[in-house]
Amino acid sequence: MDVEILARVQFAFTVGFHYIYPPLSIGLGLLMVVFEATFIRTGNPEFEKLAKFWTKIFALTFGVGVATGIVMEFEFGTNWATYSRYVGDVFGSALAAEGIFAFALESGFLGILLFGWNRVKPWVHMVSTIGVFFGSMFSAVWIVVANSWQQTPAGFHVVGEGMYARAEITDFWAMVFNPSSVDRLTHVWLGAFLAGAFLVLSVHAYYIVRGRQVELSKKAFKIALVVASVFSLGQLFTGHNSADGVAVNQPAKLAALEGHYPASAPADMYLLGWVNQEEKTVSGIKVPGGLSFLLYYDFDTPVTGLEAFAPEDRPSQVNAVFQFYHGMVAIGMTLIGLSLMGLFFWWRGTLFEKKWLMWVFVWSVLLPQLANQMGWFAAEMGRQPWVVYGLLRTSDAFSAAVTANQLVFSLILFFLVYSLLFALFIYLLNKKIQGGLEHLDHDQSHPRTQAIAQNLIN
Amino acid sequence: METFLGIDYPTLWFLVVGGLFSGYAILDGFDFGAGAWHLFFRKEEERRVALNAVGPIWDGNEVWLVIGGGALFAGFPVVYATLFSAMYIPFILFLLFIIFRAISIEFRSKEEMAWWRKTWDIAYSVSSIMLAFLLGVVLGNLLTGIAIGPDLSYLGDGLFDFLNPYALMVGLTTLSLFLSHGAIFLLLKTEGQMFERLTQLARAGMIAFMVTFGLTTLYTLLYMPHLSDFFREHPVAFLLPLAVFLSIANVPRLASKRLYLRAFLFSSLTISMLLMLVAFELYPNLLLSSIDPQHDIDIYEAASSQKALGIMLTIAAIGTPLVLGYTAFVYKTFSGKVKLDEHSY
């Protein structure tokens, strides 16, 4: 196999694996803040248990996230040297800002979050939890800014030629607020909140059907259900904004998302389908003119299709892009449906009597994870053949110094290590969940509790 | 070319990157050193104490690697790209050992079984040793030079040419430096029997470092004359190597007086001065070509635009005080001897 394909496979594998964890950190971070704040405000020790329990789960995901994240930062240099030289002037500053503004905040306060329960005042611990949560949110900001610059480059000019050609930054804020940053960042944040909320829903639904810590689990479930409902509906807006942006800035990607070939014609929207790349047709269930309507509120407005682009400027895997995109959308709709169903039965007062619904929630944890992965695959494969849209081709971007043998070696190692890591993660996660909250029973004599009690009296 | 305090931006950025990697070497250096000694502690409680000594801070220490890597990428993309792709195997191994070390710390305490804990103890110790060694090997290659040809091409075999004798020596020197540094750190965090044992281990570490460092220095002077050019041209710069020797000698002196905090500070100073020495030997180059000095990459060819460096300096000026602030706060919170509680590893 050639170096380009191997390098792409390795990057996709390592980043896909990594991306299981950061959304969980962000989403659980939000809920940890809510739980701990509720505890401090009400002094109800049950919420301290919740905060401590979810902090332990958080620690597990955070650890794997950091370890696999460091790989990503250096993989640009090891595997994409030409890319790194080309974009360093612009892309590097976003990455460095991530390190200094986000990761440092997150990791600095993590120690206190995990080990500081008995060492610092309750409010200092609360501030640390918020610091870690904000750190993870900021981290997403800079990483999405960097990636969005690859999708819709702005605030730069190109200098030099051949091996020495590179993009130089001309306007930092134009780079940060490039045309797709905000749409994509909000979409990513909400996707992360959903990943966290559905993990909390899943675990507490499990406790409820198993009859463990039922009252507390019901409280946690309701909080997470509100979070899930708000943000699954919110994804409709951020998703729609992203698609509008793609239509304007990356028309070839938009055409690939719906498998729309004609150079200029009203475009359909498929609920599900299959793209025949040879015959340039899509078969499936569609809303005729649906894509035109979503973009222009009119079923007959023409949309630029793949044939408007030279074959070498189109994504080569149209069907894959189509499937990933439609999978993501379908899951998004399912999450809205599930959340609203939960709210409905809550309103009727029968939510926790529906065993089957609880079991659906137990397994629903996989859905946001799948949607996050599919969304990124659609975004990144839809950007092809460009690594920086319209500027640098992926086939020109990999490391000339690295051989196929080296790549096979590293790919095998990553595969083995990550498989082991994943198996251990699942094993320990399951163990923590089975271990439950019971052992986190509250110690009334502890100075921390007394301090909080004292605060409430004052 | 724009300047700040009379120093041009690429030079300034060279200092920033150097400062970040010094910080990283000092901080993760004691982590690696403590980890490297891990199997020398026989009792379960001792191993837990050793692990919890670095437990709340290792992650914050690794931040310096992330920031240093980002700063190198942003400030000197040409060097970042050329170095990492040319040194593919050692860097991939480094990353995998980083993963192993992180998960060993995280996973070890999650089960009671003896075999489980023993497995993670071994993984933790081996990965700490390998990380220290690999950092040194990469540093050694920076000093000997990499097979860089015309147009930033890489002409080495990409497999084992990073394992040259000089790089191996620098690797061992780095490992023994971190062994000594880590043992002194643990002396600050332990009590009783373990403390007494560590005084011996620290002594062994210091002796190992002095021997390997002496040999490496000799080798450098005899076989790598290009590295002392700067010092021959600027005799006053000889003060730096002199200061390095004094600082190195001061560590065992303070340790024998049982002034371990001061010994640790001088050990940290030693690390940063050794890296300064490397910086002087290289400047204004960043990557040396082992093929032809014509292909050396200096900071001016490698640097990002003035605009980018200016932006980055602003980011660093805002970010650094913040990072130092919460690092200091976390270290203060967890200062003193390790006390195990229900939240410990």
The larger pLDDT score, comparing residue B55 to residue B207, is at B207
Mean pLDDT, chain A, integer:
89
Token representation of residue B4 = 């700040």
How far apart are alpha carbons A373 and A371 in whole angstroms?
5
Could you write out the DSSP letters of every residue in A152-171?
S--SEEEES-GGG-EEEES-
Residue A450: per-residue pLDDT: 53
Q: What is the pLDDT of residues B16-40, one digit of tens each?
A: 899 999 999 999 999 999 999 999 9
Q: Do B56 and A115 touch (CB under 8 A)?
A: yes
Inspect the interface and report whether the beta carbons of B63 and A79 lie closer than 8 Å.
no
Whether A74 and B95 lie within 8 Å, measured CB to CB: yes
pLDDT score for A456: 52
Instruction: Look up the domain containing A261 and give its range.
Output: 3-457
**Half-sphere exposure in the Cβ direction for B171 (13 Å, CA):** 18
How large is the average pLDDT for residues A289-312? 89
Bridge-partner residues for B285, per DSSP? B298
Interface of A with B in 109-128 (CB under 8 A): 109-112, 114-120
Give the chain A residue whose CA is nearest to the CA of B85. Answer: A78
Contacts of B329 by beta carbon, 8 Å cutoff, 6+ apart: A108
> Which bin fits A336, alpha (ψ -120 to 50), beta or left (φ > 0)?
alpha
Nearest to B308 among A93, A110, A401 (CB): A93
Write out chain A residues lying below 8 Å of B305, CB-based: 89, 159, 168-169
Nearest beta carbon to residue A100 from set B77, B99, B315:
B315
Please report the pLDDT score of residue A449 as a whole number. 52
Give me the pLDDT at residue A444, please. 47
Give per-residue pLDDT as tens, A58-76.
988 988 898 899 999 899 9
Ramachandran region, residue B145 (left: φ > 0; alpha: ψ -120 to 50; beta: rest):
left
Q: What is the 3-state secondary structure (H, E, C) of B40-67?
A: HCCCHHHHHHHHHHHCCCHHHHHHHHHH
Q: The tokens of B170 are what?
A: 């620098």
In chain A, which residue's Cα lies nearest the Cα of B102? A67
Distance (Å) of CA B174 to CA A52, B16, B212: 40, 22, 9
Helix (H, G, I), strand (E, B) or coil at A272: strand
Which are the contacts of A171, defined by CB distance < 8 A and separation ≥ 6?
A: A154, A155, A156
Cβ atoms of A180 and A403 closer than 8 Å: no
Confidence at A111, pLDDT banded by 50, 70, 90: confident
**DSSP 3-state assignment of B152?**
helix
Total domains, chain A: 1
The pLDDT value recorded for residue A445 is 46
Q: Note whether A107 contacts B344, CB cutoff 8 Å.
A: no
Q: What is the pLDDT of residues A149-159, one digit of tens each?
A: 999 999 999 98
> How big is the CA angle at A266 (ends A262 and A271), to the nearest 5 degrees?
95
Does residue B135 sit within a domain? yes
In whole angstroms, what is the distance from residue B268 CA to residue B178 CA? 10
Mean pLDDT of A97-117: 86
In which domain, by residue range, is B273 found?
Answer: 7-333
Q: What is the DSSP letter of B285?
A: E
Task: Give just the sign of the alpha carbon dihedral A252, A253, A254, A256.
Answer: positive
CA distance A113 to B323: 17
d(CA B19, CA B316): 12
How far does the CA of residue A360 sit from the closest CA of chain B (Å)? Answer: 29
Where in A152-241 does DSSP place strands (E)? 156-159, 166-169
What's the angle, vertex CA B294, arms to CA B291 and CA B296, rounded to 5? 75
- Looking at the predicted structure, is the pLDDT value of residue A122 above 60? yes
Q: How many CA atoms lie within 13 A of A245 on its CB side?
A: 19
Number of domains in chain B: 1
Closest CA to B140 of B223, B57, B56: B223
**Backbone phi and psi for residue A300, each to the nearest 5 degrees, phi listed first:** -110, -5
**Is B344 among the domain residues?**
no
Q: What is the pLDDT of residues B122-181, one digit of tens each?
A: 999 999 999 999 999 999 999 988 888 887 888 877 677 888 899 999 999 999 999 999
Distance in angstroms (rounded) separating the CA atoms of residues B265 and A100: 24
Does residue B55 fall inside a structural domain? yes
Q: How many CB pairs under 8 A join A and B?
A: 238
Q: How far apart are CA A59 and CA A69, in angstroms?
A: 15
3-class SS letters over B122-148: HHHHHHHHHHHHHHHHHHHHHHHCECE
Query: Residue A105 — pLDDT band, cuts 50, 70, 90?
Result: confident
Residues of A in contact with B341 (CB under 8 A): 118
Task: Note whether A346 contacts B: Cβ–Cβ < 8 A.
Answer: no
Q: What is the average per-residue pLDDT within B204-214?
A: 93
Cβ atoms within 10 Å of A384's Cβ, excluding its own: 21
Contact A195/A369 with Cβ under 8 angstroms? yes
- CA distances A308 to A305, B94, B263, Å, are 6, 46, 70
Which DSSP category does B81 fall into? Answer: H
pLDDT at B109: 84
CB-CB: which of B92, B330, B344 is closest to A112? B330
| Cβ separation A108–B327 shorter than 8 A | yes
**B341, part of any domain:** no
The sign of the CA dihedral B216, B164, B66, B312 is positive
A103 shares contact with chain B (CB less than 8 Å):
yes
Closest chain B CA to residue A99 = B67
- Rounded to the nearest 10 degrees, what angle do helices B165-189 and B260-282 cross at? 150
How sure is the predictor about A135, in pLDDT bands with cuts at 50, 70 and 90? Answer: very high
Closest by Cβ to A402, choosing from B67, B158, B322: B158
- Confidence at residue A93, expressed as pLDDT on a 0 to 100 scale: 85
Task: Give the distance, in angstroms, between the CA of residue A198 and the centroid of all CA atoms in the same chain.
Answer: 13
Tell me which H or E stretch contains B297: strand B297-298
Q: Are residues A398 and A277 in contact, defined by beta-carbon separation less than 8 angstroms?
A: no
More confident residue, B98 or A452: B98
Does the distance separating the beta carbons of A166 and B69 come in below 8 Å?
no
A64 near B98, Cβ under 8 Å? no
Query: For the segment B238-272, what is each residue's pLDDT rounded down to a tens digit?
Result: 888 889 899 999 988 998 888 999 999 999 999 99
Which of the four pLDDT bands, split at 50, 70 and 90, describes residue B320?
confident
Angstroms from B233 CA to nearest CA on chain A: 33
Question: DSSP alpha helices (H): ranges in A349-395?
Answer: 355-363, 366-383
Give the per-residue pLDDT at B268: 94
Q: What is the mean pLDDT of residues A380-391?
A: 91
Whether residue B345 lies inside any domain: the answer is no
**Position B342 in a domain:** no
Neighbours of A146 (CB within 10 A): 22
How many angstroms separate the CA of residue A397 from the nearest CA in chain B?
11
A233-291 pLDDT per residue, tens: 999 999 999 999 999 999 999 999 998 998 888 888 898 889 888 888 888 888 888 89
Separation between Cα atoms, residue A81 and residue A184, nearest integer Å: 26
CA quadruple B202, B208, B211, B217: dihedral positive or negative? negative
Rg (CA), chain B: 20
At which residue do the structure tokens 């089957």 appear? A356
User: In the structure, how many helices (H) and strands (E) does chain B have?
Assistant: 13, 4
Closest in B57, B311, B316 to A100, CB measured: B316
Residue A454 has pLDDT above 80, yes or no: no
Residue B64: pLDDT band with limits 50, 70, 90: confident
With a CB cutoff of 8 Å and minimum separation 6, the contacts of A329 are A239
Name the DSSP letter for residue A281.
E
Distance from the B76 Cα atom to the nearest Cα atom in chain A, whole angstroms = 8
- Nearest 5°: phi and psi at A310? -60, 145
